[in-house]
Structure 1
Amino acid sequence: MATTSQATLPPAAERQQTFEQAVAHALHLWPALTLSVANNWGGEDSSDKRDWFAGVIVDLFPEYTDTPAAPGAKAVEEHDLQDVEEVLLQVMVDEFDVNVDDDSAYEVATQIVAARTQCAQGQYDEAKKLQERFNNRNGKKVDQLFKKVEDKDQDTDWESDDSGDDDDDADVEMSEAPAAPKPPREKPVPEVDEDGFTTVTKKR
């Protein structure tokens, strides 16, 4: 397969910035993550966690460089689709307590790896596609989702839902690490004589 000459590639800084934006757009377009941030499932700093999340994905890959590889130098291994998908799923569990069991993580990983491959060649089709989708959707569905949280009438709905979730979480935590309760006193077993009469024992 023909490779693009190093001299004809856009500057490494441009390619790196485009890739980083593509990752950010891909994560903002991921419904599972959007819902998690909207509901603060990652805590009050859920939005900041999403930005940090994008940095984690970008850091999986080495930065682009304008310096051509030395002759005979071993090529830097890039993370593949499966690696990226695993990190996406793991961070969702670790940081947002969300187990994504559909194929959406695979789709996001596919977009990220495609953008990475294209940016390396100085092509930005996937990155532009993600940006267009982000711009179109951000003005509609995502904004509306966040407005629900800000709306006063909706606030009560979210609060009631959250309080219910908190109760559920508390129950889960208590079941995992229950406080050692004092053992209840055992009721004396009634003694029945041969004639069928129950012997009454006096409480101490």
Structure 2
Amino acid sequence: MASSESAQLPPAATRQSNFEQGVAYALHLWPALTLSVQNQWGGPDSADKRDWFAGAIAELFPEFVDTPPAKVPEEPDLEDVETMLLQIMVDEFEVNVDDDSGTDVATNIMKVRAGCAIGQFDDVNALRTRFLNLNGAKVDHIFKKAEDADQDTDWESDGSDDDEDEGAGGADVEMDDAPQLVAPKQKQEPQVDEDGFTMVTKKR
């Protein structure tokens, strides 16, 4: 009767979906990442990078399956998750998070993982509630579930931007990435040979 225990669990797809949502909520609640996206420190596609970020963290873990495998795959530990979180912040957003917020995010993700593994989604729901309560204050509205699609204009600034820098994790990013203004190059006149053919010149 080994299958009776697994039969009581929600389907693997449900557990996996909740886990991935939990990871996304944990990242959207990370002030350092939110500030990085709002200021586009990862470039104009910073919001897309955050979505990719969530997927990359979720992929650290083996997918849930309905039938227990012969060999249980190894799962990353808290330190592995935190290391990857901080590394992606540096690589993709050029932000060195030097506070403990990375540990907090990794801890939330590990709690979500443990809960989803046994079919309990309390931690996912708690993160969802925090996200919805915070939505409109500091977290932008890019990450939206279908049921919230009609509320995506409800996040006007209420003057709370002044304290956003406190959650940036000490990230002091200089704005030296702006393209330098350069004088336009002189257009080269086409060269015509004696037969009347225009010569192709290499662009420099």
TM-score, structure 2 length as denominator? Answer: 0.68
- Counterpart of 1:100, as a letter, is V
CA distance in 1, matches of 2:28, 2:109: 12
Cα 1:116–1:24 shift into 2, 3 Å: same
- Is residue 32 of structure 2 the alignment partner of residue 32 of structure 1? yes
Query: Quick one: which of 105, 130, 145 aligns to 1:108?
Result: 105
CA positional deviation for 1:143? 4.3
- 1:50 maps to 50
Check conservation: 2:19, 2:112, Cα contact below 8 A: yes
Aligned-residue Cα RMSD (Å) equals 2.3
- Structure 1, unmatched stretches of 5+, are 149-153, 155-163, 171-204
% same residue: 63
Q: 2:128 matched to which residue of 1?
A: 131
Cα drift, residue 29 of structure 1? 0.3
Work out the number of aligned pairs and report it: 149
Deviation sequence 1:159-180 (CA, Å, 0-9, x none): xxxxx943x457xxxxxxxxxx
Give 1 or 2 for the bigger CA radius of gyration: 1
State the alpha-carbon separation in 1 of the partners of residues 28 and 99 from structure 2: 17
Task: Quote the Cα distance in structure 2 between the aligned partners of 1:39 and 1:132.
Answer: 25
**More helix by proportion, 1 or 2?**
1
Given candidates 106, 115, 118, the residue that maps to 1:121 is 118
1:141 has 2:127 as partner: no
- CA distance in 2 between counterparts of 1:60 and 1:147 reads 35
Is 1:82 the equivalent of 2:79? Answer: yes
| TM-score w.r.t. length of structure 1 | 0.68
Which structure is richer in relative contact order (CA contacts within 8 A, separation 6 or more)?
Answer: 2
